[in-house]
Amino acid sequence: MTWFFIALLGTFFYACTNHLDKIILEKYFKGGIGALFLFSALFSILAIPFLFLVDRSMFNVSLSNILVLVIVAIFHLLVLWFYLIALKHDEASVVIIFYQLVPVFACVLGYLILGETLTRLQLIAMVLVIFGSTIISFEIDIDNRFKLRRKVILPMLGAAFFWAAGDTVLKMVALKENVVRSLCWENLTIFIVGIIIFIFVRSYREDFLLAIKNNSKTILSFNLLNEAFYVFGNIIFAFTYMMAPVALVLLTDSFQPVFVLAIGIFLTIFFPKISVEKIGAKHLWPKIIAICITGIGTYLLFVS
């Protein structure tokens, strides 16, 4: 079970990136998501040297598999774009719960595209995840009325769908490249797409350059730290994939909302100047209940 605790460390690093994204977005990129989207895309190149040290055969990939990885990378860029839109409008601990819908979309796409069968247990699990996501789809406003999180639901449905679509594309073509080589080509593609967006999308380019001009040292420091957490998380998962079945390793993703909520509470109590989340009872309990229900559903999906 050593792999489980190692994988949890990777999940914790991912949770840290969620909060850093939120902090950077709120404090330095108030104008929109364009600058942070470009930062994330361009900084992905920093992952290549670390991944190359793990596996130096990254260029030993067939052309057909490279094309597949390019498609997957574009899907993951769409995941990032939708995720940042949602994160701009709500807390990290709320947004991240919707990622539990990824295996639900994956099951549906696997059924529709790959002809995979769905067991009764999987259907029950999918209902649980959807139910948990529905709970967090509503918030209680200052007048104690339920309010639908419209600006979060649609973007996160998009993010979860494209994440599942990327995984389905990989499975559909029976990609046999190892995890590290796949991550190398994915990050390289994301970087190249980032360059293209920088050149052709004027508003994103202007926001990016303005952010660099006004807060260059702080922004670069935060993004380097953010990218480091993300790279370490990827490397940890790459190693754990070699230690245990992929499905079991992916199960640790269900703990990410727990870590995100715990970090949010910690920052709110001890470092409120850095980040603040709503941790009153009427806000905290729906998050806890949604995390528990979606977590159980995710567990059942992976073990069924």
Look at the alpha carbons of 86, 87, 89, 91 in this order and tell me if their dihedral is positive or negative.
Answer: positive
At 247 the pLDDT is 63
Alpha helices, DSSP H only, in 201-255? 202-241, 246-251
The helix (H) or strand (E) run that includes residue 166 is: helix 150-172
Quote the CA–CA distance of 92 and 147 in Å, as a whole number. 18
Question: Half-sphere exposure (CA, 13 Å, Cβ side) for 293?
Answer: 20
Quote the CA–CA distance of 123 and 117 in Å, as a whole number. 11
At 176 the pLDDT is 54
Residue segments in the chain with a per-residue pLDDT below the cut of 70: 1, 30-31, 143, 170-179, 238, 241, 245-248, 304
Quote the CA–CA distance of 303 and 114 in Å, as a whole number. 20
Quote the CA–CA distance of 155 and 84 in Å, as a whole number. 9
Delimit the domains of the chain by residue range.
2-303
At 197 the pLDDT is 94
Q: What percent of the chain has pLDDT over 90?
A: 33
**For 8-156, where are the E strands, in sequence order?**
138-140, 146-148
Q: Is 248 exposed, middle or buried (0-12, 13-18, 19+ CB in 10 A)?
A: middle
- Is residue 133 within 8 A of residue 97, CB to CB? The reply is yes
At 196 the pLDDT is 95
At 69 the pLDDT is 83
Tokens found for residue 14: 């991912």
Label residue 140 left, alpha or beta by phi (over 0 means left) and psi (-120 to 50 means alpha).
beta
- Is pTM beyond 0.85? Reply is yes
At 293 the pLDDT is 93
